[in-house]
Amino acid sequence: MRQSSWMRASESLSARLRLLGFVFIAGIGLTASTGALAEGRITGKITATGVRKADNVVVYLRQVPGNHMPPSTPAIMDQKDFVFIPHVLPIVRGTKVRFLNSEPKAQHNIFSPDKVADRMNLGTYPPGDVRDHVFDKECSGSGTCVAALLCNVHPEMSAFVVILQNPFFAVSDRSGMFEIKGVPAGTYDLVAWHEKLKETTTKVTVGSGDVQVDLKMSR
């Protein structure tokens, strides 16, 4: 009687230990997986001298480990009221950009004279038509990889496709604010590029949570 009660107690104890062990291992597993998946957000404000507004600054991480695939859907560059929309389009290298013509009547011709990024000419085409181009060439030289876009019908039209290694980028708004979400934990070079301002590079360390980075840019 005494023995069997001891055995029951012992079995119950070993069952509890097994359960405890399971919970412990599961706990380690959970900690390890959340550790590996830690990601944060980079937010900030750009103050620029020499331009009226600090918008259209592309803020991006120069190099993020891994092979970053371009999206399966094309990025859109529209043309309306004789303006490229958006004025600045950051993409992951290899992204297909679809060029629309949303004018009621006017034809446009899109080309990039850029020898460094991607020299191309999509020809002249009417409203409603589209042209696609995949920006997949490696840039020669250092600095941000940019393809300037022009229209040979309307010389006042211009835009920029900024070709990047990874999808962790943002374009600043009219008040110079930007936000990059879902950044894997790590230390990176945060680059700010603007068509008229000097490029800046800042070291940034991202954990889980928010990192605030304010940037100053000038001509």
- Burial, 51: exposed, middle or buried (Cβ in 10 Å; 0-12, 13-18, 19+)? middle
User: What is the nearest approach in angstroms of Cu ion to the Cβ of residue 214?
Assistant: 37
- Closer residue to Cu ion in complex, CB, 20/76: 76
Asked if 108 touches Cu ion (CB under 5 A), the answer is yes
User: What is the nearest approach in angstroms of Cu ion to the Cβ of residue 162?
Assistant: 21
- Closer residue to Cu ion in complex, CB, 83/171: 83
41, 68, 98, 154: residue in contact with Cu ion (rule CB under 5 A): 154
List binders of Cu ion among 58-97 (CB under 5 A).
Answer: none
Asked if 131 touches Cu ion (CB under 5 A), the answer is no
Residue closest to Cu ion when measured from CB atoms: 151
Q: What is the DSSP letter of 204?
A: E
- Closer residue to Cu ion in complex, CB, 41/154: 154
151, 161, 163, 190: residue in contact with Cu ion (rule CB under 5 A): 151
CA distances from residue 172 to 59, 64, 110, 121, 160 in whole angstroms, order as listed: 7, 20, 25, 28, 14
Asked if 110 touches Cu ion (CB under 5 A), the answer is no
174: left (phi over 0), alpha (psi -120 to 50) or beta: alpha
Determine the Cα–Cα distance for residues 191 and 215; give it in Å rounded to an integer: 10
Asked if 153 touches Cu ion (CB under 5 A), the answer is yes
- Closer residue to Cu ion in complex, CB, 97/151: 151
- Closer residue to Cu ion in complex, CB, 101/166: 101
Which residues lie across from 84 on neighbouring strands?
79
User: What is the nearest approach in angstroms of Cu ion to the Cβ of residue 121?
Assistant: 13
- Closer residue to Cu ion in complex, CB, 149/157: 157
Binding positions for Cu ion, rule: CB under 5 A = 108, 151, 153-154, 157
